[in-house]
């Protein structure tokens, strides 16, 4: 019998990834064998190291620099033109560092997701690792969520928790979290591309189809 791919080019969704810098989450998505096509990587910074990684993977890249525009609205209008050229099913923010206005977010409602380096709703915004260390929390982590106009408060798709260790610096903690980011972001995109994600009636919670939910308990520091 002929091999029948589960995702042929008709059903396969396409995604555009937005970056601002290093691009390690983008790289994790590119190397995850996702059931979708990465149509393009767009950066708001010409010097983003992630652009070269995307090019090495044969992905189309484009720079839309916010510095070329007088305000957020005109920057976002240009960004939307760049994105819409690819008609993506999903736009994935991967270390994208510009806050998006309600107008832009509305245009991509339900198909715009972000990875954030904290266990939301704790530590939205910037400098999450330093703030978590300052508070002395013992568990920290990362979150993939749908983007809404409420910054870092959109419906949560998946989270990973890591222990905070006594001698952690923002850098060592960030590295421990980043390893988990690279695991959960491809998982979230995989679910999206398979149409496994939906929102509950009030649009606040993500429900998962056809996915078992065992999970494990993390206690930090561990019990002795
Ligand atoms: N936009 C909306 N509307 N909602 C979200 O949840 C968003 C978003 C845009 C980006 C990523 C986010 C994060 O994961 C993200 C989520 C940048 C800033 C920020 O303050 C805050 C949150 C996030 C990304 N940016 C400064 C700004 O003025 C610029 C900082 C810089 O360029 O270094 O846009 O944390
Ligand atoms: C990641 O830790 C990501 O969660 C975070 O920046 C890093 C980007 O790394 N995102 C934000 O803080 C968004 N405000 P990467 O470019 O190597 O993926």
Separation of 51 CA from ligand 2 center, angstroms?
15
pLDDT tens, position by position, 132-186: 999 999 999 999 999 999 999 999 999 999 999 999 999 999 999 999 999 999 9
pLDDT beyond 90 at 2: no
pTM over 0.75: yes
pLDDT beyond 80 at 7: no
Q: Which ligand is nearest to the CA of 71?
A: 1
Higher pLDDT residue, 196 or 210? 196
pLDDT tens, position by position, 8-50: 777 899 999 999 999 999 999 999 999 999 999 999 999 999 9
- Going by C-alpha positions, the residue among 28, 58, 51, 50 that lies closest to residue 190 is 28
Separation of 90 CA from ligand 2 center, angstroms?
18
What domains are there in the chain, each with its CATH number? 13-108 (3.40.50.170), 115-209 (3.40.50.170)
Average pLDDT over residues 200-217: 92
- Binding site membership of 93 for ligand 2 (Cβ less than 6 Å): no
- From start to end of 88-204, where are the E strands? 90-93, 112-116, 139-146, 156-163, 197-199
- Which of 117, 157, 186 gets mutated to test ligand 2 (max ligand atoms within 8 A of its CB)? 117
What is the C-alpha to C-alpha distance for residues 73 and 135, in angstroms, rounded to an integer? 36
pLDDT, residue 9, reads: 74
């Amino acid at each position: 019998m002929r091999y029948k791919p589960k995702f042929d080019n008709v059903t396969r969704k396409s995604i555009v990834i937005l970056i601002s810098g290093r691009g390690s989450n983008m790289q994790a998505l590119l190397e995850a064998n996702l059931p979708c096509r990465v149509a393009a990587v767009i950066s708001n910074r010409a010097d983003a190291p992630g652009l070269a990684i995307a090019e090495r993977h044969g992905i189309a890249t484009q720079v839309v620099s916010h510095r070329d525009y007088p305000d957020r609205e005109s920057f976002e209008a240009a960004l939307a033109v760049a994105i819409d050229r690819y008609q993506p099913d999903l736009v994935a923010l991967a270390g994208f560092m510009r806050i998006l206005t309600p107008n832009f977010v509305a245009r991509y409602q339900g198909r715009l997701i972000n990875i954030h380096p904290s266990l939301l709703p704790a530590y939205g915004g910037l400098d999450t690792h330093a703030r978590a260390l300052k508070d002395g929390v013992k568990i920290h982590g990362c979150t993939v969520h749908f983007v809404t106009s409420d910054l870092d408060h959109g419906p949560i798709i998946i989270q990973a928790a890591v222990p905070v260790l006594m001698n952690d610096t923002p850098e060592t903690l960030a590295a421990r979290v980043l390893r988990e980011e690279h695991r959960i972001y491809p998982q979230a995109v995989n679910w999206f591309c398979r149409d496994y994600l939906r929102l509950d009636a009030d649009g606040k919670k993500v429900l998962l189809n056809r996915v078992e939910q065992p999970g494990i308990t993390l206690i930090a520091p561990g019990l002795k």
